[in-house]
Amino acid sequence: MTIEADPTITRPRIFSGIQPSGAPHIGNDLGAIRNYVKLQHEYEAIYCIVDYHALTSLHDPERLRRQTLEMAAALLALGLDPERCTLFVQSHRPEHTELAWLLMTVTPVSWLERTPTYKEKKASQPDDVNHGLLTYPVLQAADIVMYKASLVPVGKDQAAHLELSREIVRAFNARYGDTFPEPLAVHTESPIVLGTDGIRKMSKSIGNTIDIFAPEDVLRKQIMSMVTDTQRILRTDPGRPEVCNVCQLHRPYSADFERIWEGERTARTGCVDTKKLLLARILEHYAEPRARYAELMDDPDGVDRILADGAERIRPMAQATMTEVREKMGLR
């Protein structure tokens, strides 16, 4: 079935999930969240804070509760509009875990064992290789197909997971008949944002982030500690903006980034100047969201209401999918 064939779908649907790992960093925003905001105007957009996924690594109940609130407040502060999109918490729609179980029965274990993230997590938390780490991509596939989403705005780091979702959809459709569309990833112009080390992707677990909602002194420390062009030793050495992560980050935040790059190339400006300017531009860019985030964090009940409304709004879609899937799989 193509998504156009479903009469309940008026605009193509998109879905994306984000872990409640606290307030987001600029990699989350540049790689995914700014697409969430943009696409809510063009699509029927559903966004989910994936707390079940977070349980595979986070076992502190208070922290999980707080971080879920922080992520919700952050997404709203960055521009998600509950009138234009649906924002909800994964565990508020228990259909997700039921569908994940059903999809597991069409997913060979070998597909899951070869997932790069599973291998990375096994190495990074060797004392906690829980079953959820292995089946994480199946739950992710369930999240997406529950709403028959055709597009998934994500960063490039999610490419392998999305490909696996497509394989799971193909396996299900082949066994039980056309049911789910194969989801396609949509990327922003910055699909992989490098961290402050300038080498690895910006990531909370690595600790190389620039945190959008952190106090100004923390942001200053994060930006001033960034690794620049390692071949530029002296202040008078010409810089190479193509390889300097500070220069690269000016591109999304500074309309005059070419002038800034020229300053680096000619050694008119030094790395410290370029970092200070980046801090100023990032603070300017996020001034409104930062103020709005503080307001939302002061009103947790208001945020909870938005999340509860979201979960309720999509209940009929989730239930319709489960009825169809149970029927097709032969469950009475």
Q: Give contact residues for ligand AQP (rule: CB under 6 A).
A: 18-19, 21, 27-28, 31-32, 154-155, 157-158, 191-193, 201-205
Backbone angles phi, psi at 108, to 5 degrees: -65, 140
Q: 136 to each of 98, 112, 147, 179, how far by Cα in Å?
A: 14, 9, 18, 22
Give the gyration radius of the chain's Cα atoms.
21
Out of 38, 122, 156, 201, the active site residue is: 201
Nearer of residues 205 and 266 to ligand AQP, judged by Cβ: 205
Q: Which of 143, 191, 129, 136 is nearest to 161 (CA)?
A: 136
Nearer of residues 146 and 325 to ligand AQP, judged by Cβ: 146
CA dihedral 24, 303, 65, 219 (to 10 degrees): 30
Which residue(s) pair with 186 in the sheet?
153
Minimum distance between the CB of residue 157 and ligand AQP, rounded to whole angstroms? Answer: 5
Minimum distance between the CB of residue 259 and ligand AQP, rounded to whole angstroms? Answer: 25
Minimum distance between the CB of residue 24 and ligand AQP, rounded to whole angstroms? Answer: 6
Decide if 204 is catalytic. Answer: yes
Q: Is 111 exposed, middle or buried (0-12, 13-18, 19+ CB in 10 A)?
A: middle
Q: Are 209 and 42 in contact (CB under 8 A)?
A: no
**What is the number of other CB atoms lying within 10 angstroms of the CB of residue 101?**
12
- Which 3 state secondary structure label does DSSP give 214? coil
**What is the number of other CB atoms lying within 10 angstroms of the CB of residue 224?**
15
Out of 122, 156, 204, 328, the active site residue is: 204
Supply angle C-alpha 135, 53, 21, rounded to 5.
Answer: 145
Minimum distance between the CB of residue 77 and ligand AQP, rounded to whole angstroms? Answer: 16
Nearer of residues 199 and 280 to ligand AQP, judged by Cβ: 199
Minimum distance between the CB of residue 205 and ligand AQP, rounded to whole angstroms? Answer: 3
Decide if 148 is catalytic. Answer: no
The residue sitting closest to ligand AQP, measured at its beta carbon, is 31
Nearer of residues 47 and 172 to ligand AQP, judged by Cβ: 47
Minimum distance between the CB of residue 193 and ligand AQP, rounded to whole angstroms? Answer: 4
List Cβ neighbours of 22 (8 Å cut-off, separation of 6 or more): 66, 67, 70, 71, 204
- The DSSP-derived string for 245-287 is HHHHHHHHH-TTHHHHHHHHHTTSS-HHHHHHHHHHHHHHHTH
Q: Are 168 and 107 in contact (CB under 8 A)?
A: yes
Q: At which residue do the structure tokens 């009825």 appear?
A: 323
Which residues are annotated as catalytic?
121, 201, 204
